[in-house]
Amino acid sequence: MDKSRELSCPQACQICGASDLHEVKDFSLLPRITSDCRSFTAGGWLFVCFACGGVQKLPDARWLKEIENIYSNYQTYYQSGGDEQIVFDRVTGTPRRRSDVIIERLVAGNQLGAKGRAIDVGCGNGATLNAMCRVLTEWSFSGYELGNESLPRLSRIPRFEKLYTGTLDAVNGRFDLVTMIHSLEHFPSPSNALMQLLPVVGNGKIFIEVSNIEENPFDILIADHLMHFSPETLSHLMYRCGFEAVTVATDWVPKEISLGARAAQNGVNHVGLGRKAEASAGDKVMARITVYADWLHRMVAGVNRQAHEKNLFGIFGTSIAGTWLASAMEDAVDFFVDEDPNRVGKKHMGKPILHPSQVPQRAKVYFALAPSLARKVATRVQSKKFELVLPPPLQLT
């Protein structure tokens, strides 16, 4: 860490606007990962707002240059040939596409009409729009992205209208549903993005899906994520930007926040009128994030000891956590293990991706997951053939 830099920061919090940001010690020593699962250098800065508990990086010139480099070669879901990530449905326990789970829950909650127009902000290669198309059979669809590389694929979606590109103010007109599936955390100013979308939402609804920092320690490692939301800080930000939350759930998708909102009914933009956080919010969050950073350091040290023994060594998972851990292991990984049928049989980081049933006898498989989730998954895939290695305890107070 640069000892000449103060641990407090004069920049304003992206959530509440207070100038009370404090740096997380030793975070800058951790290697990072990109949101499209590619290794990235150490050296990032991470801050906690002591006024509201918001966890965030700084949208300074250095960060903007980093994300420019990341997005210049961005490949969505390259591990599965572009197919969307599989998650385990918390209701049925079955593996499903994440967008299918989200759209089904939106429809089941009677939040969408029979007909309408929808736009997915940060639409990527169209995973969410395809899920909408399969269910919302009388809706039309549009997308927004920085560039138009995905336009040929998006144009094949039935009832697709338009891809908006460039800056967010390119989006015009009104939509009955605006979705932001893992995109809000990427914006250099999430509050500006939301306020630009307020007239686009109009009398419709906005739906946001982001990682939940209270359940996912690995999220702080993602270099191109400016924000690391909790249900409270995301709700607070929406309120300040003129929205009121209708649904805030953490049980739709594991480790994620699902928030549905509408424009505040009195039509008043609430910027500057956010709810006051309890005085100890920042202290509590800083303690949690500091524990996360220490736990991640201990994980790297522990897994390197395990991997350099004689047994074959594999990492469970080919997404953010597994890729990050493998990139910190100096080529000591022999294989990856994944339950996603779209990934099994392919290679990741030059190593084969195996189904749990294909793991060689007496091999070790390290579960690169938060401890509570690691225990659940290990129970599901436990085997007498290979040894399961769980991460160290995460000792939160």
> Which three-class secondary structure string do you get for 299-310?
HHHHHHHHHCCC
Question: Do the beta carbons of residue 40 and residue 298 sit within 8 Å?
Answer: no
Check residue 1 and give its pLDDT.
34
pLDDT at 66: 96
pLDDT at 8: 57
User: What is the topology classification, in CATH, of domain 310-389?
Assistant: Rossmann fold (3.40.50)
Tell me the DSSP string of 218-246.
GGGGBTT--EE--HHHHHHHHHHTTEEEE
Residue partners of 369: CB distance under 8 A and separation at least 6: 316, 317, 321, 377, 391
Phi/psi for 380 (5° steps) reads: -70, -35
The fold adopted by the segment(s) 78-263 is Rossmann fold (3.40.50)
> pTM for this one?
0.90
Q: Rounded to an integer, what distance in angstroms lies between the CA atom of residue 88 and that of residue 234?
A: 24
Task: Provide φ and ψ at 114, rounded to 5°.
Answer: -70, -30
Of 143, 103, 152, 142, give the one whose Cα is nearest residue 124: 143
Residue given tokens 């079955």 in the structure block: 94
Question: What is the C-alpha to C-alpha distance for residues 343 and 352, in angstroms, rounded to an integer?
Answer: 10
Ordered DSSP codes for 121-135? ET-TTSHHHHHHHHH
**Can you tell me the distance from the alpha carbon of 52 to that of 277, in angstroms, rounded to the nearest whole number?**
5
Give me the sign of the Cα torsion angle 375, 379, 380, 382.
Answer: positive
User: Looking at residue 308, what is its pLDDT?
Assistant: 72
Do the Cβ atoms of 312 and 363 come closer than 8 Å? yes
Closest by CA to 365, choosing from 328, 327, 345, 338, is: 338
User: What CA–CA distance (Å, rounded) separates 172 from 152?
Assistant: 22
Q: Residue 374: which H helix or E strand, with range?
A: helix 371-381
pLDDT digits (tens, 9 = 90+) for 319-333: 999 999 999 887 789
- Ranges for all domains in the chain classified under CATH 3.40.50.20: 310-389
pLDDT (0 to 100) of residue 309: 74
Q: What is the mean pLDDT of each run of 10 residues along the chain (397 residues)?
A: 46 94 94 94 94 96 95 72 61 75 87 92 95 96 95 97 96 96 97 97 96 97 98 96 94 94 71 50 93 95 78 92 91 91 93 95 91 87 84 86
pLDDT (0 to 100) of residue 277: 54
Q: Measured between alpha carbons, how far is 60 from 194 in angstroms, rounded to an integer? A: 20
Distance of alpha carbon 320 from alpha carbon 97, whole angstroms:
17
pLDDT value of position 218: 97
357, two tokens: 């049933």
Domain boundaries for CATH 3.40.50.150 within the chain: 78-263
